[in-house]
A and B are shown apart, each in its own frame.
Chain A
Amino acid sequence: MTEMTNEATVKPIKSISKIWIIPLVALLIGAWMVYYQWSNQGPLITIEFESAVGLEANKTKIKTRNVDIGDVKSIVLKKESDGVLVTARINKEAEHLMHQDSQFWVVTPRVSINGISGLSTLLSGPYIEVAPGKSLTLSNEFQGLEEPPLTPAGTPGTFITLNSDDEFAYEPGDPIIYKGLTVGKIEDIFFNLEERIVYYNAFIEAPYHQLITENTRFWDVSGVRLDLKSTGVTVKTGNVETLITNGVSFGVPDGMPHGGRIQQRAFFDIYPSYDEASAARFKEEVHYVLMISDTVRGLNVGAPVEYRGLQVGKVIAIDVQSPEREDLLAEGYRIPVLIAVQPGRVGLPDNELGVEQVKAQTSIWLRKGFRAALKTGNLLTGAQFVELQFYDDQEGVEIEHFLNYEVIPTVSDEFTQITHKVTAILDKINDLPLDGFAKDAHDMVREFTETAVEFREASEAFDKLEEDLNTTVLIDGLNETLENVNLLLNDYNAESGAYQSIETTLRSLNRTMNDLKPLLLQLNNKPNSLIFSGDPAAEPQPEGQRGATPNE
């Protein structure tokens, strides 16, 4: 018999169990999900703020135009502790808004002179608003704004820079006005310590930014401007908004060409008023000095210099300092006043040619009696101005110089002339023979005194006579008499017994008189009837239908 052995053949397992397909598929799905999530999430950006007031990680939203585009993921303090870094995840679809010049700020309730904003965040909580920029470069790091920008990035218009070395105090948000319309705002302020000039960055909205040209001038219209100048009183204001805030207006001065539109950020000066802004167009000036012997009270820097009533320049400086300046208390000290004659104002070219023409013409005129004088322009304010004109009684003089400026001789002002005339009158009065007048006046006064004494004596005599009348006793007597009359009248009033008695008596008298009337008539007709009366039986009497009454 053959011995048979049954041995199992062991074969190594060469294939992986199919069961592993399941975790593998799960792994792939998970990886796909991670990839999908990673590939579809937006960028992680970092915004730097000074503080994180109201911001919370995983809660504060990033919004633009009130649409959520991201969430704040973390808030950490900067290493230097001078700010906070806010990390936020931006949605994929908003990734293109993260321009390099995009602006971020925290929206919270704010109350300012420009209005109230962010009231909706009282319930929803603060959020970060994004104003997308225009830069072509995208970025992940931004500098947050502490306050909302007055002009969101991308707003059509023009940025300009205004500067002033005057004492204006504009705030961000103050309006820029053109003919009463608010067309822009002051954005921010920068003070240049070296130049000691305040620069104001401002934005002019479209389409008004087209009004900004090379010859545009800006001037202050803050509040109400009340000018008390030699020309009178003027009141000016910008619009209702500038009544309570500061403001700047602009325009092209009358008579000037508009000039070309500005193509890039331009710098402009802010003038105190339109007049000064308008005057600033005259570039060339010829300076002269007036040596004033009288007072310069009422004369201000900027006061007009007029020739026959037309302004030809302005006062540049009063009491100009010079090395050879005399002591103010020295006798005959003349106050140097620097004035400018502007060729552009007199119709000459506003260039070197015009300057030369003014100098040449003035030199000729000075030899023909051309003089300067201070005149009172406004009696109310006492403001003065410089008037240039010819005086026939003035002879030509050699031209004097002061600090290399030509000196225009001056004549006394009106007040001084009046003073001189008054002095002359007083001198004539002094020449009068006042001694004779005084003697006559003395005699007249003496006679007047004697007359006054007589009048006083007459007055005293009259007073004595008046006292003799003893008015008090007289008045008392009159009062007593009136009282008696009053009592008498009371005794005879309608309800008194005396009145009744009188009335009764009068009635009785009246009746008696009536009774006597027939008797008197009878006596008149027959005088002896009083003695020889007629027959009573002959007197007629009423007859009855039945006859006589027995007792009659």
Chain B
Amino acid sequence: MSKYRTALFLACLTLLTACGSAPVEPLRYYTLDDTSPIPSEPENPARIIVFKTLSLAEYLQQSYLAFQTNSHQLHYASQHIWAENLQTTIEKSLLKELNRNNSDILFIKESDPRAKRANEYLSVDIEHFLATNQKNVQLTARYWVNFKKERVSKAAVSNIETPLQDSGYAASVKEMRNLITQFAQEIAQNINDWS
């Protein structure tokens, strides 16, 4: 009888040992948007542009941060997760950057009540937005503006790369935030040129 008890004890000990053998790696959550205040809106903007749609590539529509390990291979970081929907955080960051240093144009969300009387609409389609094994961070996107009155559309393509200084996902998210800033500047510049 005592022999059975001993065996059962050793088995439970073995199982408990197995459970406790793996080191606990905490999950890390990231967001593109920072806590900087939202820039104040211009009092009498010359133009109001509605940020109508933002679409992401299929592989970006999940919580794990993606990393390009080679030309045609991605890796989802199991411990590094976006704190919110990537589409939402890009939208917020992009709007904040677009309105940051632009006193003539006010960019608003489609849910804004003023959107109903706007005549210009901005749409963005992000195809790639990730860190690569080339030690840089890449943003590839298409965007276009519909001018409702003139019934014309103007479109452009943006390919922005910035070197990744430090290793790790936190550093890549930081550089991705910088890419959003550059992307917003490029959009604002093109919109001014088109008008």
* A residues in contact (CB < 8 Å) with B: 507, 511, 514-515, 517-519, 531-533, 536, 539-549, 551-552
Chain B residues within an 8 Å CB radius of A514:
61-63
Chain B 17-40 per-residue mask, 1 if CB under 8 angstroms from chain A, else 0: 011001101001000000000000
Complex Cα distance, B189 from A463, in Å, reads: 79
Q: Does B90 touch A at the CB level, under 8 Å?
A: no
Closest-by-CB residue of A relative to B28 is A552
Complex Cα distance, B78 from A545, in Å, reads: 23
Q: Is the CB of B61 within 8 A of A544?
A: no
A539-B77, A544-B135 are contacts. A549–B63 as well, Cβ < 8 Å? no
Q: Is the CB of B75 within 8 A of A546?
A: no
Chain B residues within an 8 Å CB radius of A532:
18, 22
Q: Which of B18, B67, B69, B85 sits near A511, CB closer than 8 Å?
A: B85
Chain B residues within an 8 Å CB radius of A544:
135, 164-168, 171
Distance to closest chain A CB from B70 (angstroms): 10
Q: Is the CB of A542 within 8 A of B63?
A: no
A518-B76, A536-B79, A539-B77 are contacts. A511–B63 as well, Cβ < 8 Å? yes
Closest-by-CB residue of A relative to B58 is A514
Q: Is the CB of B62 within 8 A of A542?
A: no
Closest-by-CB residue of A relative to B130 is A542
A-B contact pairs, 12 of them (CB 8 A): A511-B61, A514-B63, A515-B63, A531-B19, A539-B75, A539-B77, A541-B167, A541-B169, A542-B172, A546-B165, A547-B166, A549-B166
Q: Which of B85, B163, B166 sits near A548, CB closer than 8 Å?
A: B166
Complex Cα distance, B170 from A162, in Å, reads: 134
Closest-by-CB residue of B relative to A535 is B23
Q: Is the CB of B171 within 8 A of A549?
A: yes
Q: Is the CB of A549 within 8 A of B168?
A: yes
Distance to closest chain B CB from A156 (angstroms): 89
Distance to closest chain A CB from B187 (angstroms): 26
Given contacts A518-B76, A532-B22, A544-B135, 6 further A-B contacts (CB under 8 A): A511-B63, A514-B62, A515-B81, A543-B135, A545-B163, A546-B165
Closest-by-CB residue of A relative to B171 is A549
A507-B85, A517-B62, A518-B78 are contacts. A541–B168 as well, Cβ < 8 Å? yes
Closest-by-CB residue of A relative to B80 is A541
Q: Is the CB of B164 within 8 A of A543?
A: yes
Which of A533, A541, A542, A549 counts the most B-chain CB atoms under 10 A from its CB? Answer: A542
How many interface residues does B have (CB within 8 Å)? 35
Q: Does B64 touch A at the CB level, under 8 Å?
A: yes
A548-B168, A552-B168 are contacts. A542–B18 as well, Cβ < 8 Å? no
Complex Cα distance, B64 from A515, in Å, reads: 7
Complex Cα distance, B52 from A199, in Å, reads: 106
Distance to closest chain B CB from A551 (angstroms): 7
Closest-by-CB residue of A relative to B88 is A507
Complex Cα distance, B57 from A514, in Å, reads: 13
Complex Cα distance, B18 from A237, in Å, reads: 131
Closest-by-CB residue of A relative to B84 is A511
Total number of residue pairs linking A and B with CB closer than 8 Å: 88
Q: Does B105 touch A at the CB level, under 8 Å?
A: no
* B residues in contact (CB < 8 Å) with A: 18-19, 22-23, 25, 28, 61-64, 67, 69, 75-81, 85, 131-133, 135, 137, 163-172
Chain B residues within an 8 Å CB radius of A518:
62, 64, 76, 78
- Chain A, interface SS category: loop
Closest-by-CB residue of B relative to A522 is B78
- Chain B, interface SS category: mixed
Chain A residues within an 8 Å CB radius of B170:
549, 551-552
Complex Cα distance, B69 from A462, in Å, reads: 80
Distance to closest chain A CB from B54 (angstroms): 14
Chain B residues within an 8 Å CB radius of A545:
135, 163-165
Complex Cα distance, B166 from A518, in Å, reads: 27
Complex Cα distance, B175 from A545, in Å, reads: 13
6 A-B pairs with least C-beta separation: A514-B62, A542-B131, A552-B168, A544-B166, A544-B167, A536-B25
Q: Is the CB of A540 within 8 A of B69?
A: yes
Complex Cα distance, B76 from A540, in Å, reads: 9
Q: Is the CB of B166 within 8 A of A546?
A: yes
Chain A residues within an 8 Å CB radius of B133:
542-543
Distance to closest chain A CB from B55 (angstroms): 15
Chain A residues within an 8 Å CB radius of B163:
545
Chain B residues within an 8 Å CB radius of A517:
62
Complex Cα distance, B164 from A547, in Å, reads: 10
Q: Is the CB of B22 within 8 A of A543?
A: no
Complex Cα distance, B169 from A60, in Å, reads: 136
Q: Is the CB of B168 within 8 A of A542?
A: yes
Chain A residues within an 8 Å CB radius of B167:
541-544, 546-549, 552
Chain A residues within an 8 Å CB radius of B171:
542, 544, 549, 552
Q: Which of B23, B67, B76 sits near A536, CB closer than 8 Å?
A: B23
Chain B residues within an 8 Å CB radius of A531:
18-19, 22
Complex Cα distance, B41 from A218, in Å, reads: 108
Complex Cα distance, B165 from A551, in Å, reads: 14
Complex Cα distance, B164 from A541, in Å, reads: 12
Complex Cα distance, B28 from A551, in Å, reads: 11
Complex Cα distance, B23 from A544, in Å, reads: 26
Which of B28, B137, B170 counts the most A-chain CB atoms under 10 A from its CB? Answer: B170
A545-B135, A546-B166 are contacts. A511–B62 as well, Cβ < 8 Å? yes
Closest-by-CB residue of A relative to B163 is A545
Distance to closest chain A CB from B28 (angstroms): 8
Distance to closest chain A CB from B156 (angstroms): 28
Chain A residues within an 8 Å CB radius of B169:
541-542, 552
Chain B residues within an 8 Å CB radius of A549:
166-168, 170-171
